[in-house]
């Protein structure tokens, strides 16, 4: 079967068609953006912009606001978004308070978190080890609405990938939830970051806020045991 698929890919390339691997958890959210008339995507924990770039390539033509606190990742994000007038980027973290904090910077960048990493994570992904700490600016979503950076009249989809800090992002935006029609967030099945809420707690929390779970998609598994460790969940009102 794999041999046949390789021949098929070769045939497509010969005819100018490329098959590329897309980031997990993107295809179905992209399809739902049109259904729910989303015109602003908030990309929280954007890293270098893979998620937003893929959503754009799949046909979403509304505004994108990406938030990334790490300086190195932000510079790559800024460069990547420069050609797109509807893609704005902000060098800040989103959380449950306004001020300054410190983030643990992982060697693979995308595993960086304000929270300490658990032994479970290091055992499953030793390449994600923290190498240093970096001072960052952090703001609440509610503050950004109050400061008119965000418009409460928009139909907003909120994507949150903040390595265990997801619930605190939501807690900082409780006064603005009326504008947030859909939410996508990463959820852990076992503790990967210290004191992070696990999947069942997050599903119940969002249910209490009026959001129903539409689907789950695997994100991260232990390469040694194949145990599923993280999923992306997509919720809509």
How does pLDDT run along the chain (237 residues), one tens digit per residue? 334 434 444 444 454 444 344 454 565 677 789 889 999 999 999 999 999 999 999 999 999 999 999 999 999 999 999 999 999 999 999 999 999 999 999 998 889 999 989 988 888 888 889 999 999 999 999 999 999 999 988 999 999 999 999 999 999 999 999 999 999 999 999 999 999 999 999 999 999 999 999 989 999 898 888 999 999 999 999
Nearest one of 27, 28, 75, 25 to 49, comparing CA atoms: 75
C-alpha R_g of the chain: 18
Nearest one of 97, 229, 94 to 160, comparing CA atoms: 94
What number of residues does the chain have?
Answer: 237
Q: What is the CATH number of domain 20-236?
A: 3.40.50.150
Q: Three-state DSSP class for 136? A: strand
99: left (phi over 0), alpha (psi -120 to 50) or beta: left
In angstroms, the CA 236 to CA 52 distance is 19
* Dihedral sign of CA atoms 212, 45, 153, 37 in order: negative
List the beta strands (DSSP E) in the chain: 40-44, 63-67, 87-90, 93-94, 99-106, 130-139, 156-160, 180-188, 212-221, 228-236
List the 40-44 sheet strands across, edge first.
87-90, 63-67, 40-44, 156-160, 180-188, 228-236, 212-221
**pTM of the predicted model as reported, rounded to 2 decimal places:** 0.86
Q: Where are the domains of the chain?
A: 20-236
| Beta carbons of 211 and 32 less than 8 angstroms apart | no
């Amino acid at each position: 079967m794999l041999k046949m698929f390789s021949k098929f890919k070769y045939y497509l390339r010969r005819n100018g068609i490329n098959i590329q691997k897309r980031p997990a958890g993107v295809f179905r959210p992209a399809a739902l953006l049109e259904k729910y008339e989303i015109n602003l995507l908030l990309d929280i924990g954007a890293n270098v912009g893979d998620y937003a770039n893929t959503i754009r390539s799949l046909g979403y033509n509304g505004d994108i606001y990406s938030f990334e606190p790490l300086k190195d990742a932000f510079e790559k994000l800024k460069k990547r978004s420069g050609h797109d007038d509807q893609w704005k980027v902000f060098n800040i973290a989103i959380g449950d308070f306004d001020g300054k904090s410190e983030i643990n910077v992982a060697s693979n960048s995308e595993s960086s978190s304000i929270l300490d990493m658990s032994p479970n994570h290091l055992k499953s992904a030793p390449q994600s080890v923290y190498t240093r700490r970096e001072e960052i600016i952090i703001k609440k979503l509610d503050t950004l609405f109050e400061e008119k950076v965000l418009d409460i009249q928009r139909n907003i989809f909120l994507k949150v990938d903040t390595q265990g800090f997801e619930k605190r992002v939501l807690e900082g935006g409780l006064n603005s939830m009326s504008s947030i029609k859909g939410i996508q967030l990463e959820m852990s099945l076992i503790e990967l970051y210290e004191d992070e809420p696990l999947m069942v707690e997050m599903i119940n929390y969002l249910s209490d806020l009026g959001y129903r779970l539409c689907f789950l998609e695997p994100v991260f598994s232990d390469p040694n045991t194949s145990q599923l460790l993280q999923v992306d969940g997509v919720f809509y009102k």
